[in-house]
Copies of this chain bind each other. A is one copy, B any other.
Amino acid sequence: MTKSHHTLGEEMHSWATELFPLNRSLTGDGTIKTFEFFAKKLENFEFINTPSGTEVFDWTVPKVWNMRSGYIKNLAGNTLVDFGVNNLHVVGYSEPVHGIFTKDELREHVFFLVEQPSAIPYVTSYYRDMWGFCLKFEEWENLGEGPFEVIIDAEKIDGDLVYGETFLAGESSQEILFSTYVCHPSMASNELSGPVVLTKLMQYLSTLKDRHYSYRAVFLPETIGALVFLNNNLERLKLNLVAGWVMTCLGDGGNLSYIPSRLGNTYADRITLKTLSDHGKLFMKYSWLDRGSDERQYCAPGIDLPVCSVTKTKYGEYAEYHTSLDNLEYISPEGLEESLEFYVQLIENLEANRTPKIRTIGEPHLSKYQLYRSTSIKNANNEDNLLNVISYLDGQHNIQEISQLCKIDEQDVLEEVEKLRVNNLLS
């Protein structure tokens, strides 16, 4: 991290500001533009397209939804509610509509929150055809008696569901996965904070020298995008995935929060708890029952990947969640930076605690690599540590465990492993 933390937070916040107005959904122009933004920030950012109608496990890829405009006017021609002002005003995946409606008729298509009268709620209807508007309760109260002219100029057409993926190869084929979602319109913590922190994290990783693990970042529409990604990659992930995290709600001022994997005992869980514990600050530990994002798919029966999640204040746990109040003021440069800092520490822990594996069967012929005295004489056994470490390089012990087993410092373990690495003795 060469820039100061403050600067990094400002940069992530400015990205969120730039992306904020776009109308993201499972598909459509705003989502594509968001991917294109990240594609400019990250090398080898790939777009993976899947046609509408494709069957994916129990699901079907939906049509592409594009919004042009949407408003409610009174018959005097005054615009009362305008999608152009806030894209939360139209229900996600609304059907097009144009007509005159009485207030009672309109009531059937309007969502508001009585308890949060100045918040526009976020509402979607991906798989049932309907149209609707979302208003502040106070807007509804002041809307007048109608009738109203209502226009939603939208289309649902065959096209592609898109997700973005970028991969940074490490020296090992073992993979670390970060997954974030890109399908929410103008909201900041849930969800822009996730993609902007992940983008910065991958920029950081691209500058990290001697990465041991390979790192994969996916930016995808929640649920259906995760299922498409899993459908494309499940076999490889089952083989290579060491640990993964779902990244969202990373911009506010709250404490870090940990949502475990389904059974709670994967390497992702263990290294998360170690990192949070090293971190020293108070953190929230949730139950699997409190989950709610793509860990639902990553940990589903039959998939069972080692994936958990670390957020700041968790989705559903703050009043602004899924409303227009989850805005650019709700998140801050400081909050984004603290989240980035945590994930950087996590990567540092992953890299420092990797589980290397010796490439040879039987001990390597160390003197061939000048790692063993070529002339053997008693009382000259400086290679004991190396031999001890080698004897535990079975891919099932990490550096810290080997340190305990060999009764030497972790630094000493790392030095011995390094001798092997430079001689291409690790697999």
Q: Which residues of A contact B (CB under 8 A)?
A: 57-60, 91, 111, 113, 121-128, 130, 132, 223, 226-227, 230, 234, 262, 288-289, 296-297, 299-303, 316, 321-323, 357-358, 360-365, 367-368, 374-378, 381, 384, 387-388, 390-395, 406-407, 425
A300, B375: Cβ atoms closer than 8 Å: no
Copy number of this protein in the oligomer? 3
A362, B230: Cβ atoms closer than 8 Å: yes
A374, B127: Cβ atoms closer than 8 Å: yes
Inter-chain CA distance A125–B57, complex, in Å, is 62
Inter-chain CA distance A57–B390, complex, in Å, is 15
Q: Can you identify 13 A-B contacts, CB atoms within 8 angstroms?
A: A58-B425, A113-B378, A123-B376, A125-B374, A130-B375, A227-B362, A300-B362, A300-B391, A301-B392, A302-B394, A316-B378, A316-B381, A321-B378
A360, B262: Cβ atoms closer than 8 Å: no
Please give me the 6 A-B residue pairs with the lowest Cβ-Cβ distance, nearest first: A128-B374, A301-B394, A322-B378, A58-B360, A125-B375, A59-B365
B362, A125: Cβ atoms closer than 8 Å: no
List chain B residues, Cβ under 8 A from A381: 316
Inter-chain CA distance A364–B57, complex, in Å, is 8
The listed residue (B58, B296, B361, B388) touching A387 by CB distance below 8 A is: B296
A391-B321 contact, Cβ under 8 Å, with A60-B365, A127-B367: no
Inter-chain CA distance A226–B387, complex, in Å, is 16
List chain B residues, Cβ under 8 A from A128: 367, 374-375
A391, B296: Cβ atoms closer than 8 Å: yes
A123-B377 contact, Cβ under 8 Å, with A362-B230, A391-B288: yes
B124, A58: Cβ atoms closer than 8 Å: no
A362-B57 contact, Cβ under 8 Å, with A262-B391, A375-B128, A394-B302: yes
List chain B residues, Cβ under 8 A from A234: 361
B127, A297: Cβ atoms closer than 8 Å: no
Inter-chain CA distance A128–B234, complex, in Å, is 50
B297, A363: Cβ atoms closer than 8 Å: yes
B301, A123: Cβ atoms closer than 8 Å: no
B300, A378: Cβ atoms closer than 8 Å: no
B375, A123: Cβ atoms closer than 8 Å: yes
List chain B residues, Cβ under 8 A from A122: 377-378
Inter-chain CA distance A393–B407, complex, in Å, is 41
A388, B127: Cβ atoms closer than 8 Å: no
The interface centre, meaning the residue of A59, A122, A126, A364 with most chain B CB atoms within 10 A of its CB, is A59
A299, B391: Cβ atoms closer than 8 Å: yes
Inter-chain CA distance A149–B357, complex, in Å, is 50
Inter-chain CA distance A363–B127, complex, in Å, is 15
Whole-angstrom distance from the CB of A142 to the nearest CB of chain B? 21
A375-B132 contact, Cβ under 8 Å, with A57-B362, A357-B301: yes
Inter-chain CA distance A58–B366, complex, in Å, is 9
A363-B322 contact, Cβ under 8 Å, with A124-B375, A374-B128, A377-B122: no
Whole-angstrom distance from the CB of A341 to the nearest CB of chain B? 29
List chain B residues, Cβ under 8 A from A387: 296
Least CB separation from A321: chain B residue: B378
Whole-angstrom distance from the CB of A407 to the nearest CB of chain B? 7
Inter-chain CA distance A375–B128, complex, in Å, is 8
A301-B391 contact, Cβ under 8 Å, with A58-B368, A375-B91, A375-B130: yes
List chain B residues, Cβ under 8 A from A322: 377-378
